[in-house]
Structure 1
Amino acid sequence: MTMRFSAVLALLAFSSCLKSSTAADKPHIIFIVADDLGWNDVGWINPDIQTPTLDRLARDGVILNSSYVQPLCSPSRNCFMSGKFPYHTGLQDKVVFIEQPKYMPADLITIPQRLKTLGYDTHMVGKWHLGFCNWKYTPTYRGFDTFMGYYAGMEDYFTHVRDEVADYYGYDFRNMTDVYKDVQGEYSTYVFVKRAIDIIMNHDKSKPMYLYLPFQAVHGPLQVPAKYSDRYSHIHDLNRMVYSGMVSALDDAVYNITTVLENLGFMDNLLLVFTTDNGGPPSHGANNWPLRGGKATLWEGGTRGAGFVYSKTLLKKRGYTHPGMFHAVDWYPTLLDIAGGDSSQLDIDGMSQVDMILNGGSSVRNEFVYNIYDDHYAAALRWGDLKLMVGDISHAGWIPPAGSDIDIPEMDNSPLPSVMLFNISADPTEHHDISKDNPILVNFLLQMLALKNGTRVPAMDPPSDPRSNPVNFNGAWSPGWC
């Protein structure tokens, strides 16, 4: 099956018949999340990666050069969905493991729930990873009119099976709330593209649409049709070769979706957001060069995310890179306000960045918390140019792309100081700890962090529950055990 499949072209031949004469006043919003995409894994940063569609959209839109996410999947999705930092929702430690009764709290009002009150049709296609042990934690109970995808954090791209969990083995793919086996053997990126196009083709354009599209790609396991990995046959590191092919398959997916959007006239009133959920894991083919660290770390390589916004009509200024500070929690109020809502009275951590996104104005954010862990003493805080890191910070270095001839000094593996300070504007790669030269600043930031820590809620970390075993649900990972 070819990614730029011929069916798209056939559908577009009839596009003029399907166009509505009345466009929605509120903009359509497409929110695309790439899973485990590294800073150096997109063509607009690294020309060795073949992402022509993403590059074009990024360069014609606004590249977000200081857009921050969480170090791991579930915490970032919590930010997108709730507008709250994970240390305020109990999701600050690790991820939602498939056999755990762990979830985004049910009392949080999600962004699709807010958008529905503004008249939006809301759809989700892809990876959830915010809990599923009870139906009330699943997408169609959290504000989405439709859902096709999977509940957990990872699985086989073709069989859609997740195994190796406490010796459990189960299928994890849904259409609405039903186990959906028609896509067995089909690469998930293809499945999600076809579903997204089906939603777009059948949407009544007199109503605004919100399509949340968190792809499985490019998270492990590293799997892709050979025609994509073959593009990178010059790379001798197998993980990097396959991973790069997965990125290009994702780029083709965005090509197919945006081609349909363009031909059906949606692009005339649409905002497209593209972001990673965390930094890439170098051990699984990703690369964050020249940033330090990667997925699961508080270093910039784990938290500074590749991303952009694109719109033909909504952006008053486009075709540039914005340096302003933006955090994943800011998407919630920003999109709500762009959609005609009012975020000003909401009890959330996100800050509305409408002027920054639409007009090229300055960021309204001057600080944020990278994370405050509950299961061990570690945290990081940003204030202006300064980044404070405290506690048990994992060792992480600088990893050039596989096969490159970049020489880096050997890593010093002696214990890291319990308090470190970096100037991210002057030293974005975090080579120079300036804490010893700035004791007054360090003390000020430690006090600020202590105040933030005073608002932290206990992390959810329940033990594995044997009731989750798919054998109890006809072989599928299913709600109904908490």
Structure 2
Amino acid sequence: MKIAILFALFCVVAFRGSQGKKGKKQPHILHIVADDLGWDDISWHNPSMITPHLQDLADNGVVLDNMYVQTSCSPTRSCLMSGYFSAKIGSQHLVYKPDRPHGLPTWLTTLPDVLQSKGYTTYGVGKWHLGYCNESYIPINRGFDHFYGFYLGSVDYYTHLTSEKGPYGTGKYNGYDFRDDGEKVEGEGIDGVYSSLLFRQKLLDIIDGHDADTPMYLYLAFQLPHSPLDVPDKYKEMYDDTVITEDRKIYSGQVTLMDEIIGNVTSALKVAGMWDDTFLLFHSDNGGDVRHAASNHPLRGNKGTYFDGGIKAVAMAHGKGIKKTGYVSNEMMHAVDVFPTLIEAAGGKTKQYDIDGVSAWKMITKQKKSKRSGFLITIDEDVPNESYGAAIRDGKWKLIQGYPAFSFTEQHLYWYETPYHTEPDEKADLPLPDKDAIFLFDMEADPSEECNVADDNPDVVAQMQAKLDEYRAVTWTDFPPDDPNCDPALTDNWWTTGWCTIN
């Protein structure tokens, strides 16, 4: 009798542990991050793009047309995983580079750490880009039960090779990068296979093997449509009748392949009986890269800049918990808000976390007003000869102080015509800003950032500069010198952990 009672009590405790607050069933969470997706490269902004699965999700969900991220891959991913502005945790400059001994600080509690504690099984598939040089940095030691994909950034889709400068062969160090729970992924059926197709198969295997009664966090971090420009021909050929430039055809095909894989994943969740209990959040990690055929039209700027073309994300939400669907929300959200939003979605409380993020859960699900009215874009002023800029948003105002990009080099800082039928034309008549520039934009009146009104609003400039000064007291930069111990030639031509220590 005592044994039966104890068993019954155990079942009740276990059941409650999987339900979240107030006994509600915890949703499965599908968190999808596109890589370098341009503002104008999705069908709800541009009907020329072939993204039917995402369009269907958006039509039956909520388009988040006022979501902001960071200028590039690692800074945004650090916000997602930590809930902190990237400049407050040292990750704002460029990216976590494979030849430098750094990564997402290990003292941080990550989003998957918290979701694990809430009873979730956590899976990562795709691109990590938050450090790898020490075992403590890799995903399976940062809250993920399983991870399949790349530790680094711009990996070749077919060869799975990369360098410290991006594409294979362009840098000093070159090696393979593909892991499954820390083990090398290679051999027959892997080598020479387009990586996103391998990701698709892994995703389907994960869903097929997952217990539907256990809440799942599936972080699908695509490399698509990031460079290098490469895609199976059938996707490129879908744009033969609408696009003239070859690069734009390939890029557009990459976007369509991403959309197809998302459709495969949602179909698999339906077959597994999990879809009706799934909350999906989709967004890009930064603006599109115009150098590789993306388009941010009509926004100003490219990936890597502090203009909205660099930091405004294509985004939408769908599924469990959303009360009203089929509309566009213009409420403000930032990448740091994903951390508390998904914790609240899981039934957790967010007040205990001393972070920069504020939950957007009720904003998304119940059409409540956003708790956010501004955000720190960046303070990136500590790397000699490479960074000079800081930027902040406060209400309708955006201030950029210094060079408006993460590196003091020629950048795409202007506007571009939509590259569907003609080559994009840069407005090159504008002078290239210098490190002493000051921009002030009224983002409500001038969302394309065409009119610098700093001279007309000195009081606003002073107030915004004062806010930046407050942030400067708590920001820092982790961008150490390169270390030759990273060299893949030392480890059978693989980028490998174990050559750096944790500070």
Matching of residues 351-366 of structure 1 within 5 Å: 351-366=358-373
Equivalent residues of 2:225, 2:255 under 8 A apart: yes
1:439 aligns with 2:458: yes
Structure 1, 435-444 or 286-295: larger mean CA deviation: 435-444
Equivalent residues of 1:30, 1:211 under 8 A apart: yes
The secondary structure found in structure 2 opposite 1:437 is coil
Which residue in 2 is equivalent to 1:67? 67
Equivalent residues of 2:125, 2:219 under 8 A apart: yes
Distance 2:175 2:390 in 1: 36
1:481 aligns with 2:496: no
TM-fit CA distance, 1:403 = 4.1
Equivalent residues of 1:119, 1:208 under 8 A apart: yes
1:303 aligns with 2:311: yes
Matching of residues 365-404 of structure 1 within 5 Å: 365-374=372-381, 375=383, 376-394=387-405, 396-404=413-421
1:267 aligns with 2:278: no
TM-fit CA distance, 1:166 = 4.1
Distance 1:287 1:247 in 2: 12
Which residue in 2 is equivalent to 1:118? 118
| Root-mean-square deviation over aligned CA pairs | 1.6
Matching of residues 63-212 of structure 1 within 5 Å: 63-162=63-162, 163-164=168-169, 166-182=171-187, 183-212=190-219
Distance 1:96 1:337 in 2: 29
Which residue in 2 is equivalent to 1:424? 443
Normalising to structure 1: TM-score of the pair? Answer: 0.92
Equivalent residues of 2:32, 2:220 under 8 A apart: yes
TM-fit CA distance, 1:409 = 8.7
The secondary structure found in structure 2 opposite 1:211 is strand
Q: In structure 2, which of residues 242, 246, 265 is the aligned counterpart of residue 257 of structure 1?
A: 265
Distance 2:479 2:426 in 1: 38
TM-fit CA distance, 1:393 = 2.2
Which residue in 2 is equivalent to 1:19? none
Matching of residues 455-470 of structure 1 within 5 Å: 455-457=474-476, 459-470=477-488
TM-fit CA distance, 1:404 = 4.0
The secondary structure found in structure 1 opposite 2:357 is coil
TM-fit CA distance, 1:411 = 3.4
The secondary structure found in structure 1 opposite 2:391 is strand
Q: In structure 1, which of residues 414, 437, 440 is the aligned counterpart of residue 431 of structure 2?
A: 414
C-alpha change, 1:125 and 1:439, in structure 2 (3 Å) is: same
The secondary structure found in structure 2 opposite 1:273 is strand
TM-fit CA distance, 1:434 = 1.5
Distance 2:432 2:418 in 1: 26
Distance 1:411 1:67 in 2: 29
Structure 1, 389-398 or 270-279: larger mean CA deviation: 389-398
Equivalent residues of 1:99, 1:165 under 8 A apart: no
Which residue in 2 is equivalent to 1:350? 357
Give, as a single letter, the amino acid of the residue that structure 2 aligns with 1:388: L
Equivalent residues of 2:280, 2:318 under 8 A apart: yes
TM-fit CA distance, 1:423 = 1.1
The secondary structure found in structure 1 opposite 2:129 is coil
Distance 2:218 2:47 in 1: 29
Distance 1:355 1:411 in 2: 44
Which structure 2 residue ranges, 5 or more long, are not aligned? 1-17, 20-24, 163-167, 406-410
- Show CA shifts across 1:38-65 (max 9, x none): 0001011101110000111012101001
- Show CA shifts across 1:203-223 (max 9, x none): 111110000010111111111
* Identity %, equivalent residues: 41
- Show CA shifts across 1:305-357 (max 9, x none): 0010010x410111100001100000001100110111112121111112101
Distance 1:246 1:337 in 2: 33
Distance 1:166 1:46 in 2: 36
Normalising to structure 2: TM-score of the pair? Answer: 0.88
Distance 2:217 2:456 in 1: 49
TM-fit CA distance, 1:415 = 4.8
1:331 aligns with 2:338: yes
- Show CA shifts across 1:247-293 (max 9, x none): 00111100100011122221111101111000011010111000000
Distance 2:159 2:352 in 1: 45
Which residue in 2 is equivalent to 1:12? none
Give, as a single letter, the amino acid of the residue that structure 2 aligns with 1:412: D
Structure 1, 162-171 or 339-348: larger mean CA deviation: 162-171
Tell me the number of residue pairs that the alignment of Structure 1 and Structure 2 aligns.
458
Equivalent residues of 2:248, 2:420 under 8 A apart: no
Distance 2:284 2:375 in 1: 18
